[in-house]
Amino acid sequence: MSDISTAPAVAEPAAYDWTQLTDDLNRLLRLKTTPIGMKLFTTVEEMEAIPKIRRPKSIHTTDQIVAQAARLGFTIGITQSDLVGAQCGAVIGLHPQNAEWLSGRNMAKVWYETLEDSSAHQHAMDVVPHGTFAAMAVSPLTSGRLNPPDICLIYATPGQMIIFINGLQWAGYKKFQWGVVGESACADSWGRALKTGEPSLSIPCFAERRYGGVLDDELLMALPPRFLPKAIEGMKRLAGNGLRYPIPQYGVQADARAGLAVSYGAKKE
């Protein structure tokens, strides 16, 4: 397991049943996209030792590499030399976050009005510090090849995602607070989750949708795998209370009292 973030607040299970966890996610949320894992490696040899690992034959964005796992079911590994530029590698710690990168020069007058705006954006991104990792791999959770991954990535619609978040909050409630950097939103998802070890939600950006195949109605949750059993158990308990996905429409003109009494009334033991 990569030593990236601080000590976990949620305990790490002794072992994961990836098939069961994925089956539970699909049953509870009816996901359209394959849940995947991401793992960083200190050496290229460690990454290439993963069973049935693929290596890119072309230059890609990290969004495309993630999509090849989530959309095509590939187990695929990369180094910085496989990526199109510094931005993708810097988020996962494969490229230095040096003065040139922090300047934001490449985004000025394209994504942001001034060089100062571009630099502020670069400084606002959550990234893995450079210097420890040399490679990264992604793979469907059900493959069990990244056992365990550093983080799991789950694409879901807003309706699916709020039920997942409700599951995380069922026991040991915590208010989640997430930011939006705008373009380069992978920093809000896998960048932040790898850096902090906490669940991290993002609105996938232009590049993720253009190059990574992210659907128009999808959000992305990145989180260490230890949170999955907690979320799933919470969703099961909520489902037992009638709070499940898909969320049935009640009717915008119906008398709401009967529905509210069921969904928001205290449950008798």
- Domain of residue 125, residue span: 18-247
pLDDT value of position 86: 97
Structure confidence at residue 9 (pLDDT): 66
Would 5 be classed as within a structural domain? no
Number of domains in the chain: 1
Domain-located, residue 1: no
Is position 13 within any domain?
A: no
pTM: 0.94
* Residue at 12 is within a domain: no
Q: CA-to-CA distance for 183 and 263, rounded, in angstroms?
A: 38
* Any domain includes 263: no
pLDDT, tens digit only, all 269 positions of the chain: 455 555 456 888 879 999 999 999 999 999 999 999 999 999 999 999 999 999 999 999 999 999 999 999 999 999 999 999 999 999 999 999 999 999 999 999 999 999 999 999 999 999 999 999 999 999 999 999 999 999 999 999 999 999 999 999 999 999 999 999 999 999 999 999 999 999 999 999 999 999 999 999 999 999 999 999 999 999 999 999 999 999 999 999 999 998 998 889 877 66
Burial 65-79 (b: 16+ CB within 10 A, else e): bbbbbbbeebbbbbb
**Residue 116 and residue 127 in contact, taking contact as beta carbons nearer than 8 Å:** no
Please check whether residue 219 lies inside any domain of the structure.
Answer: yes
Q: CA 178, CA 223: separation in Å to the nearest integer?
A: 13
Q: Which two tokens stand for residue 125?
A: 């991104």
The reported pLDDT for the residue numbered 4 is 58
The predicted pLDDT at position 129 comes to: 98
Any domain includes 68: yes
User: What DSSP character marks residue 136?
Assistant: E
pLDDT at 83: 98
